[in-house]
């Protein structure tokens, strides 16, 4: 991460070298990719080995162990919310945050909220992976991200309210406007990921949140078969999410 002695400031020209440290399939990496593409910033992909990245990144000079990690002319930035602000500094336009103060606060709040959704989607993913294949890295990741049965059941129970919140932000114009913002890029990849779950996708389809995810992040080609216990999905049905529910 950058230090106070090495501030990241707006520059008249783009940095000479930008590297994105990543591995494929991460929803948070997808957020960083979308923001870089939105800005039109060229970068070099540095593919790390999933699992080993936790030791590789500190060895490369990063303070944290998580992807995405961005190196900008030697300065190091991690976590999607820090990356969004760094990108607006090095290339102010097109903006990731609105110029209007009230609008910016709304986007920042949605982006922060989206980080929690990102964590929930990650827990669901690793919980499913540990049920579909015997992979030591998946097992370690599930433990590292707290993908316990209790946590995953809670995430599923909270999903209806989360979808309603995304739909409300779309209706209010916080998300899904003509000019996409940091919150769009934070939230959409996680919903696109959940659309890969045969257990969950029927309850997301035809929601504004699903349409938004596909528009912003594209279709995720991963496929996760039915692996979650049927009773875990009861809150989706009980709280009124219908697989055929039309968008408002």
Residue 230 has pLDDT above 50, yes or no: yes
Cis upstream peptide for 94 (omega within 30°): yes
The mean-pLDDT minimum among 1-5, 46-50, 100-104 falls in: 1-5
Residue 237 has pLDDT above 70, yes or no: yes
Per-residue confidence (pLDDT) for residue 51, from 0 to 100: 86
The mean-pLDDT minimum among 9-18, 85-94, 144-153, 154-163 falls in: 9-18
Per-residue confidence (pLDDT) for residue 238, from 0 to 100: 75
Split at pLDDT 50, 70, 90, the class of 3 is very low
Split at pLDDT 50, 70, 90, the class of 135 is confident
The mean-pLDDT minimum among 101-105, 163-167, 231-235 falls in: 231-235
Per-residue confidence (pLDDT) for residue 194, from 0 to 100: 96
Per-residue confidence (pLDDT) for residue 239, from 0 to 100: 64
Per-residue confidence (pLDDT) for residue 221, from 0 to 100: 86
Per-residue confidence (pLDDT) for residue 13, from 0 to 100: 63
Average pLDDT of span 80-91: 96
The mean-pLDDT minimum among 108-112, 138-142, 213-217 falls in: 138-142
Tell me which residue of 153, 157, 167 sits closest to 237, measured CA to CA.
157
Residue 72 has pLDDT above 70, yes or no: yes
Q: What is the CATH number of domain 18-90?
A: 3.40.30.10
Per-residue confidence (pLDDT) for residue 145, from 0 to 100: 85
Fold of 101-238: Glutathione S-transferase Yfyf (Class Pi); Chain A, domain 2 (1.20.1050)
Per-residue confidence (pLDDT) for residue 12, from 0 to 100: 46
Question: Do the beta carbons of residue 33 and residue 40 sit within 8 Å?
Answer: no
Per-residue confidence (pLDDT) for residue 58, from 0 to 100: 93
Split at pLDDT 50, 70, 90, the class of 134 is confident
Per-residue confidence (pLDDT) for residue 211, from 0 to 100: 97
Provide the residue ranges of all domains of the chain, joining segments of one domain with +.
18-90, 101-238
Residue 65 has pLDDT above 50, yes or no: yes
Average pLDDT of span 90-95: 95
């Amino acid at each position: 991460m950058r230090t106070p002695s090495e501030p990241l400031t707006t520059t008249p020209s783009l940095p000479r070298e930008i590297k994105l440290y990543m591995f494929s399939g991460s929803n948070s990496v997808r957020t960083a990719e979308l923001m870089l593409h939105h800005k039109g910033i060229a970068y070099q992909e540095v593919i790390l080995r999933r699992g080993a990245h936790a030791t590789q990144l500190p060895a490369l000079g990063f303070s944290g162990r998580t992807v995405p990690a961005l190196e900008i002319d030697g300065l190091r930035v991690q976590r999607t919310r820090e990356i969004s602000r760094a990108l607006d500094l090095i290339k102010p336009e097109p903006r990731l945050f609105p110029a209007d103060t009230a609008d910016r606060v709304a986007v920042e709040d949605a982006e922060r909220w989206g980080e929690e959704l990102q964590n929930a989607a990650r827990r669901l993913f690793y919980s499913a992976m540990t049920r579909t294949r015997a992979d030591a890295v998946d097992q370690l990741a599930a433990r590292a991200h707290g993908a316990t049965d209790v946590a995953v059941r809670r995430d599923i129970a909270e999903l209806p309210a989360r979808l309603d919140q995304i739909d409300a932000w779309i209706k209010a114009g916080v998300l899904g406007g003509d000019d996409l913002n940091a919150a769009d890029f934070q939230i959409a990849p996680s919903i696109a990921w959940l659309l890969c779950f045969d257990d969950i996708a029927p309850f997301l389809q035809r929601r504004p949140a699903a349409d938004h995810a596909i528009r912003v992040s594209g279709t995720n080609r991963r496929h996760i078969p039915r692996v979650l216990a049927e009773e875990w999905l009861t809150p989706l049905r009980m709280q009124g999410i219908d697989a055929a529910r039309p968008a408002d």
